[in-house]
Chain A
Amino acid sequence: MLGNFDFDVIRRALPYLFYEGMTFTLTLTGLAALGGLIFGTALALMRLSGLKLLGRIAGIYVDFMRSLPLVLVIFWFYFLVPYIGQWLTGASRPISVGAFASSLITFIMFEAAYFSEIMRAGIQSISRGQPAAASALGLTYAQTMRYVVLPQAFRNMLPVLITQTIVLFQDTSLVYVLSITDFLGAASKVAQRDGRLVEMYLFAAVVYFTISCIASFGVRRLQARIAIIR
Chain B
Amino acid sequence: MIEISHVNKWYSPSFQVLTDCTTSVTKGEVVVVCGPSGSGKSTLIKCVNALEPFQSGDILVDGTKVNDPKTNLPKLRSRVGMVFQHFELFPHLKIIDNLCLAQEKVLGRGHDKSVTKGMQLLERVGLKEQAQKFPAQLSGGQQQRVAIARALAMDPIVMLFDEPTSALDPEMVSEVLDVMVDLAREGMTMMVVTHEMGFARKVANRVIFMDRGEIVEDAPKEDFFGKPRSDRAQKFLSKILSH
Contact = CB atoms under 8 A, between A and B. Distances in A.
Interface of A: 127, 129-130, 132-140, 143, 147-148, 151-152, 155, 229-230
Given A132-B51, A136-B49, A151 B92 contact: yes
A129 B88 CA distance: 6
Contact of B77 (A129, A138, A151): A138
B106 A129 contact: no
Nearest to A136: B82
B209 interface: no
Interface of B: 46, 49, 51, 73-82, 84, 86, 88-92, 101-102, 105-107, 134, 136, 150-151, 154
B84 A129 contact: yes
A80 B80 CA distance: 55
Given A143-B105, A143-B106, 19 more contacts: A127-B86, A129-B88, A132-B51, A132-B88, A136-B77, A136-B81, A137-B82, A137-B151, A138-B76, A138-B78, A138-B107, A139-B101, A140-B74, A147-B105, A148-B101, A151-B92, A152-B91, A229-B134, A229-B136
B77 A135 contact: yes
B105 A139 contact: yes
Contacts of A155: 92
Contacts, number: 68
A160 to B, nearest CB: 17
A138 B76 CA distance: 7
Best-buried of B46, B101, B107 by chain A (most CB within 10 Å): B101
A49 B105 CA distance: 22
Nearest to B97: A147
A152 B82 contact: no
Contacts of B88: 129-130, 132-133
Contacts of A148: 90, 101
A133 B162 CA distance: 12
16 contacts: A130-B88, A130-B90, A132-B51, A134-B90, A135-B74, A136-B82, A136-B84, A137-B78, A137-B106, A138-B74, A138-B107, A139-B74, A139-B105, A143-B105, A151-B92, A230-B136
